[in-house]
Chain A
Amino acid sequence: MADLTCKIAGITSPNPFWLASAPPTDKEYNVVRAYEAGWGGVVWKTLGEEGPPVVNVSSRYGAISYNGTKMAGLNNIELITDRPLEVNLEEMTRVKKNWPDRVLIASLMVPCEEDAWKDILKRVDETGCDGYELNFGCPHGMSERGMGSAVGQVPEYINMVTKWCKEYTKKPVFVKLTPNITDILIPARAAVDGGADAVSLINTINSITSIDLDAMSPTPVVDGIGAHGGYCGPAVKPIALCMVGEIARDPECKNIPISAIGGISNWHDAAEFIALGAGSLQVCTAAMHHGFKIVEDMIDGLSNWMDDKGYKTLEDFRGLAVPNYKNWGDLNMNFETKAVIDEDACIQCGKCFAACEDTSHQAILAENINGERKYSVITDECVGCNLCELVCPVDDCITMTPTPSDKPYMTWGEDPRNPINQAKKVS
């Protein structure tokens, strides 16, 4: 049996599966249920400063159902915790005491003032929590009050607040980044420079999930109108993977540990993030959709897959995909792959033909032989785009098959077809 022990920024949890800061971690009751179900850790729902009450509106979530699949993407307009700080701290203390082997991270969001951060750290330190996550990510509501992503979009603020926190606590500091920026490396580097022990990403993405065409308002509709919310769930996983990969391979980020978040729904997603350098994994939407019990397959599936692959610990495959994440300019122009259709497996739906004929390279031949529909690849026309393989509803029916070649590895920079090289030739 593989060992799933997870170590990140000096914190150890029995498995890498943590619940992200959100409603599933809003109180002792939920967190204890989560631990009982097997979650390795939680990031408690973001705490704010004492005083100004946080009040949520009614009608808070919207979702994308895609082809009958519920909640392919989830959107919310909730704020940070709306329970009194005192109550949260008392519960956190008790939870950590009763569950010493599980991780408990405190997520914090207070105004950009040194004293505010100093005060909150002092108070929360007493809970015995394992570390902090600075919520610089929430893109709605709190950002209108100059917090959350309003901080996360200004690298100087990230840097400044991180430094304060590192000064006022000895516990590890995770900086939670917002994806609502142009280049994730800029805030990430600001956090690294500020002394962050780890980064967590992604928080939610600015979104309007849908327009209610009767109310003529974005959803969720609050008394006839809507505001943009934060998007998460399976739909955002590719965006999160890309941002995690950017940081993992960036020399200036200095291998900062990453707690990956965004659409993680099963062990397979988890393994992908770890392969791309993630340390721990945080989950929100999948738990909100299916309940805490999903962690069982996350743990069991990851462990079985690791056994099959011969990986004994998470370190054995962590980051293995990072060296293979390159830029387009590093790709081999001499690589060629072609579609091959397995006629026996083909159910003759013609999806590949429609896709290729209408939108790609007219590289699929549609025939009707004695009433039998037959689809085959015109190999010379196939550019190896993968579209037919992607649309085909049958597993392993269309296989992209690399053409054997003895041509050397050649990037676009080295390619004679590149105008720069042609200019060189002329000169």
Chain B
Amino acid sequence: MSDLAKSKADENRADIEPRRLETTEYEKNFCDVLTPLDRNTAVREANHCLFCYDAPCIDACPTSIDIPSFIKKISTDNVKGAAKTILEQNIMGGGCARVCPVEELCESACVRKTQSNDPVKIGQLQRYATDHLFARDDAQLFERKASTGKTIAVIGAGPAGLSCAHNLSREGHDVVIFEARPKSGGLNEYGIAAYKMANDFAQKEVDYILSLGGIEIRHDHALGQHITLDGLRAEYDAVFLGMGMGGVNALGLDNEGLEGVDNAVDYIASLRQVDDKATLPVGRRVVVIGGGNTAIDMAIQIKRLGAEDVTLVYRRGTDEMGATDHEQEFAQTNDVRIKLWAKPSKLIGENGHISAIEFEYTKLDNNGRLIGTGEFYTLEADMVFKAIGQNFDAAPLNGTLDISAKGKIAVNDDGQTTLNNVWAGGDCTEGADLTVVAVQDGKKAAASINKFLAV
């Protein structure tokens, strides 16, 4: 019986299979999306930079990297110096070079964009410099100041926690990071699309950060489970919370527990961790719900795992999508179909498994509010992924500190919470949910903690 005939004959069974692709295709589909620049191209690109005065790109980078300076250094082959300029401001400059939505950040402000819609490829140059550094024997650029004898507890070994820890260690403090998961890196390790973080870069970056010394990570230690905030406050000189979001938004429909309905972040986490991507279960027809980068990443990755038909459905228009234009375009070139102005209304199952999903068309009413039009359509689906946002799970904090109106940890401009010796930053606080913002939050909090400990 042919495959097609078999699936026809067994219509009740959802079409979910591992190994939809030839073995060699997985490697191709999940290797680096961007080819690293060679010296020739990097120098030419660097010479495209005008070395602007008080450059707008610096303001557009959340970590304020001195971009013209590092690019100048690339142009003179002082590549190690370029890497230092980057890492001094942003210890995860290597990771950020891979994951930053540069078209919305630094490159959006490049004056070459204004001049000729041809911004300097800042992200790729940043990667060129940091890759060069990590390949060197003398990659360590930082030294710890004399020990202060102070110890700080950090919750979460994600970008925010690692950045905070590195900046504190440089100041001579000791840091203990408590991390719930078995590996460090936070979403760099468990969330970012695989083709952006190829070759285990997340772990290499963690290793680089730890090579400074003074930072101990205790894995499988979760706040609220193995440790409490009160306990840490008593035992340590200060505490930084960089615990990310934890919670995932639900659709609020019946049948959400059907087999084949999954959270995008959970599937991506297993995709990032699995040794052999060919073993992952992949539906033939997949629907992804949401309009942010997580939805886009999910749709592209499931497509690249061999799903035949991937549809991303978003309840508003392209302009309102959280995903950048660049990401939307990338989804389309990956043969992901994007359907706008519809929201899920019914999950339809067969034998406990999802088989289709019904959507209601949406529009804006006269007050600009999103409403259903009362018209519906249905998409058949073997798998449905929810990517309609994450939320902060405050349970581990046990009500010890204030939560903001948007449900995240309330902090002041320095990242200090309502408890005087507790700081927080990254996705668990308000602000854009981006790696580079988390790094900046960690850096800023470290500076504030350092000041606090000095008095």
Contact = CB atoms under 8 A, between A and B. Distances in A.
Contact of B69 (A266, A293, A304, A395): A293
Nearest to B81: A300
A301 B51 contact: no
Interface string A302-335: 0011010000000000000000000000000000
Nearest to A69: B47
A296 B72 CA distance: 10
Contact of A300 (B38, B75, B78, B138): B78
B255 interface: no
Nearest to B73: A297
A326 B301 CA distance: 63
Interface in B32-66: 38-40, 47, 51, 53
Given A293-B69, A297-B69, A297-B81, A266 B51 contact: no
B72 A268 contact: no
Contacts of B72: 294, 297
B325 interface: no
Nearest to B44: A393
A290 B76 contact: no
A135 B51 CA distance: 32
A305 B78 contact: yes
A211 interface: no
Contacts of A266: 75-76
Most buried by B among A266, A268, A304: A304
A296 B76 CA distance: 12
Given A395-B38, A395-B39, A301 B73 contact: yes
Contact of B53 (A291, A304, A305, A307): A291
Contacts of B80: 304
A285 to B, nearest CB: 14
B145 to A, nearest CB: 17
Given A297-B81, A300-B78, A304-B80, A290 B51 contact: yes
Interface in A250-274: 266-268
Contacts of B73: 297, 300-301
Interface residues of A, number: 18
A101 B341 CA distance: 68
Q: Interface size for chain B: under 10, 10 to 19, 20 to 34, or 35 or more residues?
A: 10 to 19
Contacts, number: 41
Contacts of B69: 293, 296-297
A37 to B, nearest CB: 12
A394 interface: yes
B17 interface: no
B133 to A, nearest CB: 11
A268 B38 contact: no
A349 to B, nearest CB: 13
B40 A268 contact: no
B13 to A, nearest CB: 50
Contacts of B78: 267, 297, 300-301, 304-305
B77 interface: yes
Contacts of B39: 395
Interface in B121-137: none
Interface in B88-143: 138
Contacts of A301: 73, 76-78, 81
A267 B76 contact: yes
A91 B315 CA distance: 68
Interface in B326-351: none
Nearest to B70: A297
Contact of A268 (B47, B77, B81, B138): B77
Interface in A349-389: none
A268 B76 contact: yes
A267 B38 CA distance: 22
A290 B69 CA distance: 11
Nearest to A269: B76
A297 B53 contact: no
Contacts of A296: 69
A229 B434 CA distance: 54
Nearest to B77: A268
Contacts of A300: 73, 78, 81, 84
A65 B38 CA distance: 27
B176 to A, nearest CB: 32
B129 to A, nearest CB: 12
Contacts of B84: 300
B76 A297 contact: yes
Contacts of B38: 395
B81 to A, nearest CB: 4
A301 B138 CA distance: 15
Nearest to A393: B40
Contacts of B53: 291, 293
Contacts of A294: 51, 72
A287 to B, nearest CB: 12
A393 B73 CA distance: 21
A296 B73 CA distance: 9
Nearest to A394: B40
Among the interface residues B40, B51, B73, B81, which one has the most CB atoms of the partner chain A within 10 A? B81
A393 B72 CA distance: 21
27 contacts: A69-B47, A266-B75, A266-B76, A268-B77, A290-B51, A291-B53, A293-B51, A293-B69, A294-B72, A297-B69, A297-B72, A297-B73, A297-B76, A297-B78, A300-B73, A301-B73, A301-B76, A301-B78, A301-B81, A304-B78, A304-B80, A304-B81, A305-B78, A307-B138, A393-B40, A395-B38, A395-B40
Interface of B: 38-40, 47, 51, 53, 69, 72-73, 75-78, 80-81, 84, 138
| 8 residue pairs, one from A and one from B, having the closest CB atoms | A301-B78, A300-B81, A266-B76, A395-B40, A297-B73, A297-B72, A304-B80, A290-B51
